Each structure stands twice: as C-alpha cells, then as structure tokens.
C-alpha cells in the first residue's frame, strides 16, 4: 500500500494546470516494475474539482478506484482496499499533496515537497515540467516526475511518476 499514491498521482494527468478548474477526462495508465520488468495497463475516468477532490474510477479493471476527498484517500487497487487519513499517515500526505499540486500546476510546491529540482521548458506548443530528486527520496515521495501540457489550452496530456524503488507509472490523458 505504500505505493498506492503513485497510481493516484498518475491519474491527475487529465487535470489542467489551472487550479480551480473542474476537469473530466479518460486516462490510460501503464505501470512498469523496475525489478521484474512486469508491465500492466489500466484505463479509467478521472474527475478533479480544482481543489482537493480527485476521483480516478477504473473501467479496466472494473471496480478499482483511487479517490482523494479532502484529507481522506480511498483506494481499491490491485486487490488492496484501504481508507487512509493523510493527516495521520505522512507518506500518504506527501503523495496526496504531490498529486494535487502536479494537477493544479503548483509544480514549485511539488518539487519542494519531494526535495527535488524543477525544470520547465516550452517548445513546439508543449510545456514539459520535470521534477527530479536531488538525493535521497523522502518516504512516499517521487524520484522523478514528468508532466506534459499542450500550451494552446494548458491541458495535461501525460504524467510520469517514478518512485524511489523504480516503479514507473505513466498516465496518458485521452
């Protein structure tokens, strides 16, 4: 369950860089396990209210979900089901904050929380945001985050999250 929030962060792709904007989009998630090389793919629909409510409801596999509702994180992923209080579980608090900050365009805070460097570039109509850990990754944090946005509408189209163990989740927003 310590990497549950990794999946959650990835779902935030479909959110534009404009906080306070409601976002609804379909997504595809690809997860690659560094040690085994195992790859899994999932699809679903996400809704972000522009504040602190994010729902990622999976359609394949059905009945899986990742929900942030204020400081509560509810998950049903890969056979693991839990309801966690982010105020009490520091690892969940960091993952929740990182995910919401990435979706809402608050990349500076996401980088600071993950003790990471931030680089933002714009080229050929695309904004790329890279957040890369400076050293040891905080427990529950990310070693690497890549966010891609269309400049024309500020819509996030891709989010890549890699944790300290090398588990990489790539989310494509459809």
pLDDT in tens, 112-169: 999 999 999 999 999 999 999 998 888 888 999 999 999 998 888 999 999 988 999 9
Please tell me the predicted confidence (pLDDT) of residue 21: 65
Domain housing 76: 4-173
Q: Measured between alpha carbons, how far is 26 from 11 in angstroms, rounded to an integer?
A: 9
Please tell me the predicted confidence (pLDDT) of residue 9: 43
Sheet containing 39-48, strands listed edge to edge, beginning at the edge strand earlier in sequence:
80-85, 72-77, 62-69, 53-60, 39-48, 23-32, 168-173, 155-163, 142-150, 126-133, 116-123
Give the number of domains in the chain.
1
Please tell me the predicted confidence (pLDDT) of residue 2: 44
For residue 69, give the CATH number of its domain.
2.50.20.10
Peptide bond into 99 cis (omega under 30): no
* Bridge partners of residue 89, in order along the sequence: none
Q: Measured between alpha carbons, how far is 154 from 127 in angstroms, rounded to an integer?
A: 8
39-74 pLDDT, tens per residue?
999 999 999 988 899 999 999 999 999 999 999 999
Q: Measured between alpha carbons, how far is 6 from 156 in angstroms, rounded to an integer?
A: 17
* Cα separations in angstroms, 104 against 13, 34, 42, 109, 173: 10, 29, 23, 11, 15
| Mean pLDDT (the chain, rounded) | 87
């Amino acid at each position: 369950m310590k990497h549950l929030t990794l999946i959650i962060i990835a779902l935030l792709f479909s959110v534009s860089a404009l906080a306070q904007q409601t976002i609804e989009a379909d997504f595809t998630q690809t997860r690659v396990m560094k040690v085994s090389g195992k790859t899994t793919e999932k699809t679903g629909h996400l809704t972000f209210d522009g504040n602190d409510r994010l729902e990622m409801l999976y359609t394949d596999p059905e009945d899986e979900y990742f929900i942030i509702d204020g400081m509560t994180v509810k998950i049903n992923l890969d056979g693991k089901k839990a309801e966690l209080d982010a105020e009490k579980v520091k690892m969940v608090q960091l993952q929740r904050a990182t995910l919401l900050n990435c979706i809402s365009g608050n990349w500076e805070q996401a980088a600071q929380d993950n003790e990471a460097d931030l680089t933002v570039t714009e080229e050929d109509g695309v904004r790329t945001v890279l957040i890369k850990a400076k050293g040891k990754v905080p427990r529950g944090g990310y070693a690497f985050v890549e966010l891609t946005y269309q400049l024309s509408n500020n819509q996030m189209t891709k989010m890549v999250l890699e944790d300290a163990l090398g588990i990489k989740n790539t989310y494509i927003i459809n």
